[in-house]
C-alpha cells in the first residue's frame, strides 16, 4: 500500500503535468483549437493524434487548449472561495458576538440551496461568460467554507498565545494575521484542494449542459459536442474518451493531494493508524 507521502507526490506530479501542458498549449498545438486541419470525423492518424471532430478541427489541439479554460475556472474559483471563506471565517470567529450571529444565520439560509442548481438558474438568466461564472462559483463556494473556518478559528482564538498577545496590546489585525492565520493554514490548504476539485467538476458540468458560450473550448464543451453530434452513438471513441479521461485524471490528482493533506490537518487519522 502506498504511503500518504507517495500518494501526495504522485498527485503533485500529475497536477504539474496538467499545468505545464496548459501553459505550453501554443507550443504543443500551434494550429490552435479552432483551425480546420482535416476531414470531418477523421480517425486518429499521424497528423491527428485523436482524430477530428464534426467540422474537421483537431481534437488533440482542443484537448490541450481546453486544459487552460478548465483549470482556470477550477483554480480561480477555488482561490476566490477559499480567500473569502478564510477572511470572513477569521473575522467572525475572532470577534464573535452580533457579527458572528448575523453571518451564521445568513449561512443557514443559503446552505440548503443546491449550489449546482442555483448556478444553472443564474447562468440561464444572466448568460455570463467563463470569467463571470468562475467568480460566481467562487462567491457561492465560499459560503460552505466559512462555517468550517469559523469553527477552527474559535478554538485557536481561545489559546494562551492569543490571549497573551491581547494582554501586551497587540492589535486585532496583528493577532489575526500573525497568530490565527498561520494556525489555520493547514485547513486553508485542504479546503483549496477540495474546492478546486469540486468547482472544476462543477464547471465542466455547466459547460457540458451549455451554460456559457459554446465556442469556448474546454473539456465540458468537447464532451457536449461529442454527445450532441452523435459521437457516442457512432462509437467515435477518439472524440469522447480524451476529454473524459483528462477530467478524471485531474480530479484523481486533486483527490490524492487532498487525501495526503488530511493527515496533517486531522490528527485522528494518525491516531487511528497507530
Domain containing 69 equals 4-23+53-267
Is 48 inside any structural domain?
no
Segments of the chain with pLDDT less than 50: 267-274
- Residue 30 belongs to a domain: no
* Res 266: pLDDT: 54
Whether 41 is in a domain gets the answer: no
- CA-to-CA distance for 164 and 260, rounded, in angstroms? 34
CATH number at residue 244: 1.10.3720.10
* Residue 90 belongs to a domain: yes
Query: Which pLDDT score is estimated for 267?
Result: 45
| Total domains present in the chain | 1
Q: Which residue has the cell 491527428?
A: 48
Question: 255: which residues sit within 8 A by CB, 6+ positions away?
Answer: 11, 197
Judge whether 149 lies within some domain. Answer: yes
pTM: 0.86
C-alpha cell at 249: 485524471
109-147 pLDDT, tens digit each: 888 888 888 888 888 877 777 778 888 889 888 988 898
The verdict on residue 146 lying in a domain is yes
**Helix pair angle (219-228, 237-265), 10° resolution:** 140
Nearest to 86 by CA among 135, 147, 140: 147
Is 247 a member of any domain? yes
pLDDT value of position 159: 80
Residue 163 lies in a domain: yes
Amino acid at each position: 500500500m502506498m504511503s500518504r507521502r507517495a500518494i501526495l507526490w504522485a498527485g503533485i506530479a500529475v497536477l504539474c503535468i496538467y499545468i505545464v501542458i496548459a501553459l505550453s498549449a501554443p507550443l504543443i498545438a500551434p494550429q490552435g483549437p479552432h483551425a480546420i486541419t482535416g476531414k470531418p470525423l477523421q480517425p486518429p492518424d499521424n497528423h491527428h493524434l485523436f482524430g477530428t471532430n464534426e467540422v474537421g478541427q483537431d481534437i488533440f489541439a482542443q484537448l490541450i487548449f481546453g486544459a487552460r479554460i478548465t483549470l482556470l475556472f477550477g483554480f480561480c474559483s477555488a482561490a476566490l472561495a477559499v480567500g473569502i471563506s478564510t477572511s470572513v471565517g477569521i473575522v467572525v470567529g475572532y470577534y464573535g458576538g452580533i457579527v458572528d450571529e448575523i453571518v451564521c444565520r445568513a449561512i443557514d439560509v443559503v446552505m440548503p440551496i443546491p449550489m449546482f442548481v442555483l448556478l444553472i438558474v443564474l447562468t440561464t438568466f444572466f448568460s455570463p461568460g467563463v470569467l463571470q461564472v468562475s467568480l460566481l462559483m467562487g462567491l457561492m463556494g465560499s459560503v460552505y467554507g466559512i462555517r468550517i473556518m469559523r469553527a477552527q478559528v474559535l478554538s485557536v482564538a481561545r489559546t494562551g498565545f492569543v490571549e497573551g498577545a491581547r494582554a501586551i496590546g497587540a492589535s486585532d489585525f496583528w493577532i489575526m494575521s500573525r497568530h490565527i492565520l498561520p494556525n489555520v493554514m493547514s485547513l486553508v490548504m485542504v479546503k483549496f484542494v477540495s474546492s478546486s476539485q469540486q468547482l472544476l467538476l462543477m464547471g465542466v458540468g455547466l459547460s457540458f449542459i451549455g451554460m456559457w458560450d459554446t465556442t469556448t473550448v474546454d473539456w465540458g464543451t468537447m464532451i457536449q459536442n461529442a454527445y450532441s453530434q452523435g459521437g457516442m452513438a457512432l462509437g467515435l471513441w477518439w472524440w469522447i474518451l480524451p476529454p473524459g479521461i483528462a477530467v478524471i485524471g485531474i480530479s484523481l490528482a486533486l483527490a490524492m493531494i487532498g487525501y495526503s493533506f488530511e493527515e496533517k490537518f486531522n490528527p485522528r487519522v494518525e491516531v487511528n493508524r497507530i
